Every structure is written in structure tokens, then in C-alpha cells.
Amino acid sequence: MLLTPLIEKKRDGGRLTPDELRTLLGAYMEGTLAEYQMSAFLMAAFIRGLDPEELSVLTRAIIASGMRLDFGDGGAPAVDKHSTGGVGDKVSLVLAPLLAEAGLRVPMMSGRGLGHTGGTLDKLEAIPGFEVDIGLDRFRAILDEVGCAMIGQTEEIAPLDGRLYALRDVTGTVPSPALIAASIVSKKVAEGIEALVLDVKCGRGAFMPDAARGHALARKMVDLAAAEGVRATALLTRMDAPLGHTVGNALEVGEAIETLRGGGPADLREVTLALGAELLVSAGRATEVGEAATRLATILETGAPLGRFARLIEAQGGDPLVADDPGRLPVAPVQVPFPSAGAGWLDIHARLVGLASVELGAGRRRFDDAVDPTVGFEFHRAAGDQVAEGETLVTIHAADTSGAATAANRLTEAIEVSDEPIPPRPLILERVGDGVPAES
């Protein structure tokens, strides 16, 4: 079969049959379809979209390109969570050990920062010695021992997605709802989990700027996961301002440790408990989310999940003492206060903060850029707070004074002090559920 006409067909708004799409994807995996040709197809799919059958075929092809793990051994239910990406989003660092402490298994495969958003793997690697690139045998052993494990995507799991993801990152095709859905769901299904919760970020700091588009993506992913045998729900959560008080890898690890100890910012706790409650219910360990959230909050108050996080760190080669002493995390050599330019009510633009953190070195402009784990922002006041002129709003953590000065300039764009109070903005916008697995 000639391949170029298939790209042209999608470019012109046509629908590829299952055989045509499988042929195209298979040729790419075999090396007979060039990278530039697949890039052209991805752009066509981005512009024209994929219909439900095309989306299903793509998802199943990604799953079939590698191994599918199996946790059907009669042990604790295997569950996972995925976020579509935000600023200051360190929920996974808290949620995985919390769920393990609640009796679930969490085989979590995470990603690196993308664009202005942070990545769980980059945060974990801020812990001295922590290894995210480990084999599946060690992954399973850690999961059996600790109850959770947090690693990067391996070559054995959904390798087609890894290749497509790299192309999307450099061709401007990341925000496609269909390609996002296929990428996320395929990896999670291949993990062998039975329940999934999706944190779909909406707002000016998210890839989905409005709730309507977020709902459509959530609905697509929930239904797609259910069709592959995974019970799924999604929460649309607000990402207008950064989540929590810190943005930057080591800083966010420190804040996650504070939360696992029973403290932490209220917004981070709220999102973490809401997502965890969905998984307890989906896994059959609670009957309703209110009860589940209360149980998880009680566990979090004990501080026990912090001990499990320390065990996870040690099992994956890191320094477990950071759990008791976050001062062992790497620290930026330059710390500069950023004062309020006026008096009034504070607003913080998440996307602009995320871009400023990337410029500091906390994220990547290019796929192969190195990340500085020490740099970022420590916010002393939250969006909606009333502040005084000259009050320190942020501490900038930078590698040098030049970087700190540039970051301060960026913060003047990201932070606004208004004369009028800012109305409260709910964090949890909507629940999208009923992702009941189809009968096999």
C-alpha cells in the first residue's frame, strides 16, 4: 500500500479505515515511513481531528507496540492518576504514597516537563540519587515492597507513543485533544491498572484554556479508557494560578514533603484528596467520594505517607533522609525577594510564571536541555490575598544574579495587584464519570 496517499487523505479531511491507519503506524514503527512523513500526518490529524474509530485504532496500536503489564494476581487493586499539565502541580508526589498507605497499588509512569508546565520525573530527580529510568523487573519489585513506584516510560511500554510524543513536542501538535487522549490512555492501559483518575487542568495556565474544551477532552479519555477495560473518572481542576506555594523542582519536592507530613497548602491538599477519593471509589475501597476523601485526609494527618515516600526514595536509589530533612535537597545559590509594587488584591498568572521558571532553568526550551533542580519561585502569598505595597510576595531562587533579575522582570508581567477584591475561584470545576469498562 502506498503511504503518501494516506497522509494526503487525512490532510484533505478524509477518514482512514482501520487497516489504513494500522498500516501507516506499522510502517512508522518498522522504519519505512520517515519521521517527516509521520510529522505531516500528525499535523493533518491535529488540524482535521480523528473520529472515534480512528482514535480507538491509534490507542490500541500504541498499546500493542509494547508490553501490557498484568496485576491481576489477587492483590491490592492497581490504580494510577494522570494530569494534563500545570504549574506547581506536585500532586503525584503526595498522591502515590498516600494511596499506597490506603492499601492500593500505584504503578505510576510519569513524564517530564512540557512547555511551561512541570514534570513529575524532573521533580523526583531533584532528590539526590533518585532513579526514574529503571527496568520493569525492578519496577515490579519496588511496587511489591513499597506499594508504589514512580518511573519514566520504558522502551517496553507503548514505545510508539514515545516516538510520536517526541515528534509532537517539536512540531506544534501537542494540544490536539485526540492525540493527547490516545497518548495518555494508551500508556495507562498498558500499565495494567484497573482504575484511573484524570486531572484535566483548565484555565490560563493549562493546555486546555476553557472548561468546555477540558470537558470534551475528559469525556474522550474516560470513554476511551473504559473501552479498554479501565474504570476511569476525570476531574476538571482550575489552573489559573500555580498550585501550592512553590514552582521549581526541588522546591516542589520540599512542599510535597510538608504535605505528606500533614501540612501543606490548602489547594494542594484539596486537589490531592479529591483525586485520591475518586480512585478509592473506582477501586471498590469506598462507596462514595466524601467518605473516601475523609479517610484519606485522616491518613494524611498521621504523617504515615511520608514514611512510605522515604521508603520509595530509598528503593529507587535516592537519599531517604530528605523526607525528614528537606534541607538536604539542592538549594539555589542566589535567593532574591520580589516585593509588591502596590497595595491591593493579588492575582497570579500561572502560564507566565511557568514560562519564567523555564527561563530560570527549571524547565526545557528544547527536548535535550538540562534542568536545574534548584531554581524556581517560592510564593509567600496566594492569589486572592490582600497585600501591602513593598511586601515580599515571592522569593526568586536562581543560579546567578542575572537570572534572578530576568525572573523579576518576568514576574512583573505575571503578577497583578488589583484595586478590587478577586472573587473566590473554585478549584474543582466538574466531575466527568461513568467510565465503566465494557464487558469483555
Give the tens place of pLDDT for each residue, 311-370. Answer: 999 999 999 999 999 999 999 999 999 999 999 999 999 999 999 999 999 887 666 678
Question: Is residue 90 flagged as an active site residue?
Answer: no
Catalytic residue among 161, 199, 223, 372: 161
Domain boundaries, the chain: 4-49, 79-325+427-432, 330-418
Catalytic residue among 9, 10, 187, 311: 187
Which amino acid would we find at residue 91?
V
Dihedral of alpha carbons 304, 306, 298, 146, sign: negative
pLDDT at position 110, please? 87
When the pLDDT of each residue in the chain is averaged and rounded to a whole number, the result is 94
Query: How many angstroms separate the CA atoms of 375 and 378, rounded?
Result: 10
Largest CA distance in the chain: 69
Query: How many angstroms separate the CA atoms of 390 and 395, rounded?
Result: 13
pLDDT at position 440, please? 39
In the block, residue with C-alpha cell 523526607: 323
Instruction: Give the CATH superfamily of 330-418.
Output: Pyrimidine nucleoside phosphorylase-like, C-terminal domain (3.90.1170.30)
Query: ∠ CA(153), CA(155), CA(156), 5° rounding?
Result: 100
pLDDT at position 438, please? 60
Catalytic residue among 9, 81, 82, 112: 82
pLDDT at position 51, please? 95
Question: Is residue 163 flagged as an active site residue?
Answer: no
- The arithmetic mean of pLDDT across residues 32-46, rounded, is 97
4-49 and 79-325+427-432, same CATH topology: no
Query: ∠ CA(97), CA(102), CA(104), 5° rounding?
Result: 80
Lowest mean pLDDT among 39-43, 81-85, 251-255, 316-320: 81-85
Phi-psi region of 230 (alpha: psi -120 to 50; beta: other; left: phi over 0): beta
Catalytic residue among 65, 183, 340, 357: 183
Catalytic residue among 81, 112, 116, 168: 168
Cβ neighbours for 5, distance < 8 A, ≥ 6 positions apart:
none
- The arithmetic mean of pLDDT across residues 215-228, rounded, is 95
Query: How many angstroms separate the CA atoms of 29 and 24, rounded?
Result: 9
pLDDT at position 118, please? 76
Q: Is the pLDDT of residue 203 over 70?
A: yes
In the block, residue with C-alpha cell 510519569: 110
pLDDT at position 267, please? 97
Q: What residues form DSSP beta bridges with 431? A: 235
How does strand 334-339 pair with strand 392-398?
A: antiparallel
How does strand 246-247 pair with strand 428-435?
A: unpaired
Express each pLDDT in 274-325 by its tens digit: 999 999 999 999 999 999 999 999 999 999 999 999 999 999 999 999 999 9
Instruction: Give the CATH superfamily of 4-49.
Output: Transferase, Pyrimidine Nucleoside Phosphorylase; Chain C (1.20.970.10)
pLDDT at position 391, please? 98
Q: What residues form DSSP beta bridges with 396? A: 336, 377
Express each pLDDT in 168-178 by its tens digit: 877 888 878 99
- The arithmetic mean of pLDDT across residues 231-242, rounded, is 97
pLDDT at position 366, please? 64
- The arithmetic mean of pLDDT across residues 34-57, rounded, is 96
Query: How many angstroms separate the CA atoms of 6 and 54, rounded?
Result: 13
Torsion of CA 365, 367, 350, 395, to 10 degrees: -70
pTM of the model: 0.93
Q: Is the pLDDT of residue 435 over 70?
A: no
The rounded percent of the chain whose pLDDT value lies above 70 is 98
Express each pLDDT in 365-412 by its tens digit: 666 678 899 999 999 999 999 999 999 999 999 999 999 999 999 999
- The arithmetic mean of pLDDT across residues 139-147, rounded, is 96
DSSP code string of 95-151: HHHHHHHTT-BEEEEE---BTTB--HHHHHTTSTT------HHHHHHHHHHHSEEEE
Q: Is the pLDDT of residue 436 over 90?
A: no
Class of domain 79-325+427-432: alpha beta
Query: How many angstroms separate the CA atoms of 172 and 260, rounded?
Result: 37
3-state SS of the chain: helix, strand, coil percent to 5?
A: 45, 15, 35
Question: Is residue 187 flagged as an active site residue?
Answer: yes
**In a 10 Å sphere around its CB, with 0-12 CB exposed, 13-18 middle and 19+ buried, how is residue 431 labelled?**
middle
